[in-house]
Amino acid sequence: MTRAYDALMPLPKAELHLHIEGTLEPELAFELAARNGVTLPYATTDELREAYRFEDLQSFLDLYYALMAVLRTERDFEDLADAYLARAAAQGVRHAEIFFDPQAHLARGVAMDTVVEGLWRALARGRADHGVSTRLIMCFLRDESAESALATLELAEPHLDRITGIGLDSAEVGHPPAKFREVYEAAAALGLRRVAHAGEEGPPEYITEALDVLGVERVDHGLRCMEDPALVARLVRERIPLTLCPLSNVRLRAVDTLAGHPLPAMLDAGLLCTVNSDDPAYFGGYADDNFDAVRRELGLTDERLRELARNSFLASFLEDDEEWRARCLAEVEAYEFR
């Protein structure tokens, strides 16, 4: 991907909506498959890259879960996270809050320990190796049961020094947030931060429910809030951040075209929007590729881009490192667009 507005130094930003499993590029998938003796149903990386050009949610999910088979050992998860951090740093990312889906790995017989400790080996070195600070957010699959989410939280308890918060992802419709009330209450009692995907394909009521029943501090996607003016007013009043993923929205058909994305209207409404990459290996770009796409397709001004970058740090869970947040915010303010 090329950056038209500044190929030398991208705008500093935080990435707040990023599924680590969604950063698996075809080349690394083949490398890990070879290392682990896993046979992929594709002959070459080109053939696999062609499969990444899926047209709907189901074919995306089929490919996504099929490729996870190559992730077996701590080293695999470490390599995955390290490859992401290198790409993120090149895109101006200074802080990344990274989702992972333990249930998808537990179901394949890969232990919580392997996943968390493997990711952590790379994330703990993120600042030293790549200039990127990191936090880890454990997501529950909302199409799995509430009991499974609770059991997953229990398994994670020995690793809570590595995990900052919890989230909720996967197929939204038919799985309202309230289903997960109990596990969110338990997580809150453990001192974990809380986010959830809501209002991507699901209705605005799911956003309200995520706020009221789950106590989320940040809403992932949330773009369908625009259908409910009272909800927009509340999100503005309570300064609830939304983690938007424009290129993902186009690929998964949450919007028809990027030019029709509600981001400008959301910023005009005073919403605390951020721009993120979701599953970048599959959706056509990393953090700065998303910034560049909205700049081009939505005509966002430099100051609007700066606002998005500023919001990303304001919305970050950096309360335990305000010094770093202030330094990143100062970089955003000092940034010179060319």
Residues annotated within the binding site for Zn(2+) are 17, 19, 197, 278
Instruction: Find the shortest distance in angstroms from Cβ 187 to Zn ion.
Output: 18
The full DSSP string for 156-212 is HGGGTTT--EEEEES--TT--GGGGHHHHHHHHHTT-EEEEEESSSS-HHHHHHHHH
CB 93 within 8 A of CB 13: yes
Give the nearer residue to Zn ion in terms of CB position, either 222 or 262: 222
Binding mask 47-66 for Zn ion (x = CB under 5 A): --------------------
Stretch that binds Zn ion, among 36-44, 89-97, 272-280, 286-294 (CB under 5 A): 272-280
Which residues share a beta bridge with 166?
138, 194
Using the rule CB under 5 A, which residue among 278, 288, 289, 292 binds Zn ion? Answer: 278
Which residues are designated catalytic? 200
Beta strands (DSSP E) in the chain are 13-19, 93-100, 133-141, 165-169, 193-198, 218-221, 241-244, 272-275
CB 216 within 8 A of CB 210: yes
User: Nearest Cα to 235, choosing from 261, 270, 199, 209?
Assistant: 270
Binding mask 81-100 for Zn ion (x = CB under 5 A): --------------------
Give the nearer residue to Zn ion in terms of CB position, either 209 or 278: 278
Instruction: Find the shortest distance in angstroms from Cβ 9 to Zn ion.
Output: 28
> H-helix or E-strand containing 114?
helix 112-123
Give the nearer residue to Zn ion in terms of CB position, either 141 or 156: 141
Instruction: Find the shortest distance in angstroms from Cβ 154 to Zn ion.
Output: 24
Give the nearer residue to Zn ion in terms of CB position, either 280 or 325: 280
Residues that bind Zn ion (CB under 5 A): 278
